[in-house]
Amino acid sequence: MQGTRLDTERIRAVRRLIDPVFLDTPLYPCEALASTLGCAVTIKLETANPVRSFKGRATEVVAGLLAEQGAQAVVCASAGNLGQALAWSGRGRGLAVTVVASRSATVAKLDRIRALGARLELVDGDHEMARERAAALARYDGIRLLEDSLDIETCEGAATIGLELVGSPPSFDTVLIALGGGALATGVGHVMKALAPEVEVICVQPLGAPAMTLSWRGRRVVTTDSARTIADGVAGRCPVPAVLDDLLLVADDAVLVREESIVAGMRMLLDHAGLVAEPSAALGVAAILEDPARFAGRHVVTIVCGGNVDPDAYHRWVGTAPVRGS
């Protein structure tokens, strides 16, 4: 493999900075899903922790390093999960955390960011506007700007999931990874290509927010005018060039899925696996639902990367008659 910006030894080393509550998450076969989807499905569950998403792995690394350097403050833009995780990691280390989010972000995520003691600033517009405002705040206050997917700690924190996948026995054929800014995909993808190159790395993004997938396919940055999806965690419009370069090295494919498949995936994870997944975390199941022939008889790992949903919206998505097994 040509070199990504990530380093496997550094990924192994950053584990020491991460609170164990985020590590060694459940990894288990879900036969009820398998019989419904027509392929063996193993779940990597990143929702059973204090912030209900995988982002704690990254923010623990960032906050740990900042604390070692004597920093006192940090700011990030977030659709909610990164902000919540940074608030949690910063609080434990005495860091003042500011999170900039879109006014249209998931309310449950914003509530949790405030409850964790971070300063929350809301901006009109979407996530890209929040990124600009966070950068301005960092310049003005002279504090660290944490940029998701661009900052290598966010990728290498997420990459620790990859170490836990390759370290455990039953080998698998494919890993399905939610694709947004690219931290999770490049992180896990790097580890797969370095330590288990036989595993196919497939990234999954909503059809309504396809910027990174279009960029990967075109091998150059493609931005979009809008991002229309319920999968708020992956709703970016402006891919970061350095992250795209890494993704080009580690992804075997990038696929786009429809909103109704994401909802069906959430309902299937609830009814057949007993798991509450946020829309981004159902992208893997959505990809199987849209192309069952591709996965038939294969052994697939899907990373259930977050479970932060607004209860009202979630009940609306999953509240009708349950999905029946085949």
CB of 50 to a copy of itself, least distance (A): 5
Residue 90 engages a copy of itself in binding (rule: CB under 8 A) = no
Binding string, residues 50-89; x marks residues near a copy of itself by CB under 8 A: x-x-------------------------------------
Residue 47 engages a copy of itself in binding (rule: CB under 8 A) = yes
Whole-angstrom distance, CA of residue 181 vs CA of residue 310:
22
Find out whether 307 and 200 touch, Cβ atoms under 8 Å: no
CB of 179 to a copy of itself, least distance (A): 22
CB of 49 to a copy of itself, least distance (A): 5
Angle at 257 between CA 251 and CA 260, to 5 degrees: 155
* CA dihedral (92, 96, 101, 103) positive or negative: positive
Helix (H) or strand (E) holding 89: helix 81-91
Residue 92 engages a copy of itself in binding (rule: CB under 8 A) = no
Residue 39 engages a copy of itself in binding (rule: CB under 8 A) = no
CB of 78 to a copy of itself, least distance (A): 18
Residue 167 engages a copy of itself in binding (rule: CB under 8 A) = no
Find out whether 169 and 222 touch, Cβ atoms under 8 Å: no
Find out whether 239 and 147 touch, Cβ atoms under 8 Å: no
Stretch of 58-66, 109-117, 187-195, 204-212 contacting a copy of itself, by CB under 8 A: 109-117
DSSP 310-325: -HHHHHHHH-SSPPPP
Angle at 23 between CA 281 and CA 308, to 5 degrees: 30
Whole-angstrom distance, CA of residue 299 vs CA of residue 307:
23
Q: For a copy of itself, give the closer residue by CB, 1 or 48.
A: 48
Residue 113 engages a copy of itself in binding (rule: CB under 8 A) = no
Burial of 238 (0-12, 13-18, 19+ CB in 10 A): middle
Whole-angstrom distance, CA of residue 68 vs CA of residue 292:
48
Binding string, residues 229-268; x marks residues near a copy of itself by CB under 8 A: ----------------------------------------
Stretch of 24-32, 186-194, 211-219, 237-245 contacting a copy of itself, by CB under 8 A: 24-32
CB of 208 to a copy of itself, least distance (A): 24
Phi, psi at 200, each rounded to 5° = -75, 130
CB of 177 to a copy of itself, least distance (A): 19
Residues 169-188 that bind a copy of itself (CB under 8 A): none
Whole-angstrom distance, CA of residue 109 vs CA of residue 126:
15
Residue 27 engages a copy of itself in binding (rule: CB under 8 A) = yes
Number of residues that bind a copy of itself (CB under 8 A): 39
β-pairing, 40-45 with 27-29? antiparallel
Angle at 201 between CA 196 and CA 204, to 5 degrees: 155
Residues 303-322 that bind a copy of itself (CB under 8 A): 307-309, 311-312, 315, 318-319, 321-322
Residues that bind a copy of itself (CB under 8 A): 21, 24-32, 35, 43, 45, 47-50, 52, 111-112, 115-116, 270-271, 274-276, 307-309, 311-312, 315, 318-319, 321-323, 325
